[in-house]
């Protein structure tokens, strides 16, 4: 008899729950920070032609030179910095963790943070340390510095803006952390399109700084393309772990084409930002809700104690609206829900249903 999976698979993997993506067919999908807008018809036709002409019988260019050149130009990646591409930025996090997962090595982040930092640390047999934010979700720099001194982390991940809280941490405080870190510091700018701040111009000033971006939140989540920019000394090593054909040929070609039409994506991001302000304002006008400031394409809010986030989440879902329930994910997220900014009519529907639910629950209480 062969061994059963639980005798073979590492215990920390057996103990994990899989990353859950809820079914969303037919729902108003406000749970995953996607750009709700589709591409204009002319561009879709162009992409269809391009996909049709793509030699899918051949492996993609393993270096993706043309795409990298387009990204360098579009994102303003400084001269002297290399680029590594990933199948989404998730894969880049995984490559980094695999590369520095020596026995006992620590991956450090804040809490609450993007859950994949913790999960991927576990995948790569790294020890995860999460340093709690202040209750207002600002960085607890002293606690971070103390954790850095104590754990000597091989890598620190900081999302800027942070997910799931939506805020940008203080840049000066982040720089202090970078200066104190003995290993790599990865600034994850997944939500850069919605924030007016970046560490791109600081890359040259810190030898241990790496910067990660993704095209997912900009409207290309389905293509799966993320990138890491940083000094060649780091990227040369990380490249060894990147599987040669991790970015498919169709993704390479379409992403390159869409970067030529970046104005379309940036206009969509601008529309999302306008909608975000209106939605934040309208949310905060509802009785019994605390809305947190956001520089991303989503809004975190807390229900007061009369309303249970889990119940509101379920009732929204029953009415066809999917948001993210964060209650229970971390003590600082008690009774919190996260809603992605959708199209104006979706947001209006969400707000109307939420208001009805709050009134209904209030009446019962």
Region near ligand PMP per CB under 6 A, out of 11-19, 87-95, 260-268, 341-349: 87-95
Piece of 70-78, 83-91, 201-209, 301-309 that binds ligand PMP (CB under 6 A): 83-91
- x-or-dash string of contact with ligand PMP, 20-49, rule CB under 6 A: -------------x----------------
Per CB under 6 A, the segment of 194-202, 213-221, 262-270, 306-314 that binds ligand PMP is: 213-221
Q: How far apart are CA 125 and CA 281, in angstroms?
A: 43
Can residue 189 be called a binding residue for ligand PMP (CB under 6 A)? no
- In this complex, which beta carbon is closest to ligand PMP, that of residue 191 or of residue 350? 191
Are 337 and 309 a contacting pair, CB within 8 Å? yes
The reply on whether position 216 binds ligand PMP by CB under 6 A is: yes
Q: Which of these ranges, 14-22, 84-92, 198-206, 262-270, lies near ligand PMP under the rule CB under 6 A?
A: 84-92
Pick the piece of the chain touching ligand PMP (CB under 6 A) from 41-49, 145-153, 214-222, 279-287. Answer: 214-222
Residue 45 beta carbon to ligand PMP: minimum distance, rounded to whole angstroms: 26
Cross-strand bridge partners of residue 299:
339
Mapped onto helix, strand or coil, the DSSP state of residue 322 is strand
- Binders of ligand PMP among residues 97 to 126 (CB under 6 A) are 114
Q: Which is nearer to ligand PMP, 159 or 312 (CB)?
A: 159
Cβ contact 279:347 at 8 Å: yes
Nearer to ligand PMP, 86 or 153 (CB): 86
Q: In 240-287, where does DSSP find H-type helix?
A: 249-260, 262-284
Instruction: Report helix angle 249-260 to 65-75, nearest 10.
Output: 30
The H or E element that residue 69 is part of is helix 65-75
Angle of the 344-364 helix axis to the 262-284 helix axis, nearest 10: 20
Nearest approach, Cβ of residue 300 and ligand PMP (Å): 12
Regarding 163 and contact with ligand PMP (CB under 6 A), the answer is yes
Q: DSSP H helical segments within 124-170, as ranges?
A: 141-151
Contact 130, 110 (CB under 8 A): yes
Q: Which is nearer to ligand PMP, 191 or 301 (CB)?
A: 191
Structure tokens at 157: 């991940």
Q: What are phi and psi of 184, to 5 degrees?
A: -75, 145
Kindly provide the residue ranges of all beta strands, DSSP E only, lying in 102-205, ordered along the sequence.
106-111, 127-132, 155-159, 184-188
* 303/309 Cα distance (integer angstroms): 7
User: Which residue has its beta carbon closest to ligand PMP?
Assistant: 88
Q: Pick between residue 83 and residue 190 the one whose CB is nearest to ligand PMP.
A: 190
> According to the binding rule CB under 6 A, does residue 297 interact with ligand PMP?
no
Count of residues in contact with ligand PMP, rule CB under 6 A: 13
Query: Which H or E run includes 356?
Result: helix 344-364
Q: How many angstroms separate the most distant Cα atoms in the chain?
A: 64
User: Binding to ligand PMP by residue 190, rule CB under 6 A?
Assistant: yes
Look at residue 12 and give its three-state secondary structure.
helix
Among 107, 139, 159, 303, binds ligand PMP (CB under 6 A): 159
CA pair distance 12, 188, nearest whole angstrom: 26
- Residue 89 interacts with ligand PMP (CB under 6 A)? yes
Please state the closest distance from residue 229 (CB atom) to ligand PMP, in A. Answer: 14
198 binds ligand PMP (CB under 6 A): no
CB of 259 or CB of 358, closer to ligand PMP: 259
Contact between 167 and ligand PMP per CB under 6 A:
no
Whole-angstrom Cα distance, residue 47 to residue 51? 6
Interacting residues with ligand PMP (CB under 6 A): 33, 88-90, 114, 159, 163, 188, 190, 214, 216, 221, 226
């Amino acid at each position: 008899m062969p061994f059963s999976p639980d005798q073979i698979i590492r215990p920390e993997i057996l103990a994990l729950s899989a990353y859950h993506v809820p079914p969303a067919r037919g729902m108003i999908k406000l749970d995953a920070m996607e750009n709700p807008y589709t591409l204009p018809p002319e561009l879709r036709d162009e992409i269809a032609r391009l996909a049709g002409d793509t030699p899918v019988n051949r492996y993609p260019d393993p270096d993706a030179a043309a795409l990298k050149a387009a990204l360098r130009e579009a994102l303003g990646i400084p001269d002297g910095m290399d680029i590594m591409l990933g199948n989404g930025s998730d894969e880049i996090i995984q490559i980094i963790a695999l590369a520095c997962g020596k026995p006992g090595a620590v991956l450090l982040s804040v809490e609450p943070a993007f859950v994949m930092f913790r999960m991927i640390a576990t995948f790569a047999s790294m020890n995860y340390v999460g340093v709690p934010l202040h209750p207002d979700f600002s960085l607890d720099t002293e606690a971070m510095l103390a954790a850095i001194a104590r754990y000597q982390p091989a890598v620190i991940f900081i999302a800027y803006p942070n997910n799931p809280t939506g805020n940008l941490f203080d840049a000066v405080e982040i720089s202090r952390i970078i200066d104190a870190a003995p290993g790599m510091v990865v600034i994850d700018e997944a939500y850069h399109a919605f924030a007016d701040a970046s560490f791109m111009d600081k890359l040259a000033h810190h030898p241990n700084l790496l910067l990660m971006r993704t095209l997912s939140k900009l409207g290309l989540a389905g293509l799966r393309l993320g990138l890491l920019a940083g000094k060649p000394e780091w990227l040369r090593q990380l490249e060894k772990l990147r599987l040669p054909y991790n970015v498919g040929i169709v993704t390479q070609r379409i992403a390159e084409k869409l970067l030529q039409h970046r104005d379309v994506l940036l206009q969509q991001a601008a529309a999302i930002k306008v909608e975000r302000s209106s939605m934040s304002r309208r949310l905060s006008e509802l009785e019994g809700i605390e809305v947190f400031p956001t520089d991303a394409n989503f809004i975190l809010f807390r229900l007061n104690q009369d309303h249970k986030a889990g119940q509101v989440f379920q009732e929204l879902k029953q009415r066809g609206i999917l948001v993210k329930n964060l209650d229970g994910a971390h003590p600082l997220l008690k009774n919190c829900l996260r809603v992605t900014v959708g199209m104006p009519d979706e947001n209006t529907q969400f707000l109307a249903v939420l208001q009805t639910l709050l009134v209904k629950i209030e009446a019962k209480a």
